């Protein structure tokens, strides 16, 4: 058997204290003789690379042993779909000033089904204005 140089390298993904990811590649080489077992030599090189990585990066956290962090599935409440009429009513109810509510006058004029909601909210806002003046 011919004497050959062999090498082993590994890439590591890690996260620093700021939450930033970085990649580090560590490699080592050796020369084997005819009497050496190449598989055993590669295993020794691998162990040395891993040992060096652990010792030189004690402050870094390895990202799941170099396996990408899994995406956690979170159950979400289904988004309620509002009809066009419901959205329009919500716009009116969400108004916090009379001027803001008055900006919807044309919408209410063209959509009579909004009239009751508009009138109710206008009355509520007027009552709030009166309470502010009394204080």
Q: What is the pLDDT of residue 73?
A: 67
Give the Cα separation of 7 and 5 in Å (integer): 7
Give the Cα separation of 116 and 50 in Å (integer): 73
Q: What is the pLDDT of residue 127?
A: 93
- Count how many residues are written for the chain: 135
Q: What secondary structure letter does DSSP report for 57? A: T
pTM of the entire predicted model: 0.42
Give the Cα separation of 27 and 49 in Å (integer): 7
Supply angle C-alpha 15, 20, 24, rounded to 5: 55
pLDDT along the chain (135 residues), means of 10: 76 72 84 86 88 72 49 72 90 93 92 93 92 84
Q: What is the pLDDT of residue 79?
A: 76
Q: What is the pLDDT of residue 123?
A: 94
CB 94 within 8 A of CB 100: no
């Amino acid at each position: 058997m011919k004497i050959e140089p062999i090498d082993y390298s590994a890439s590591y993904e890690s996260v620093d204290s700021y939450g930033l990811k970085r990649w580090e590649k560590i490699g080592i080489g050796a020369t084997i003789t005819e009497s050496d077992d190449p598989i055993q030599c590669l295993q020794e090189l691998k162990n040395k690379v891993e040992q060096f990585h652990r010792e030189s990066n004690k402050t870094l956290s390895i990202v799941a042993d170099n396996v990408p962090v899994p995406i956690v599935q979170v159950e979400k409440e289904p988004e309620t779909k509002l009809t066009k009429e419901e959205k329009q009513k919500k716009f009116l109810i969400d108004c916090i000033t009379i001027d803001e509510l008055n900006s919807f006058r044309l919408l209410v004029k063209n959509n009579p089904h909004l009239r009751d909601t508009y009138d109710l909210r206008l009355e509520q806002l007027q009552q709030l204005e009166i309470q502010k003046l009394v204080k």
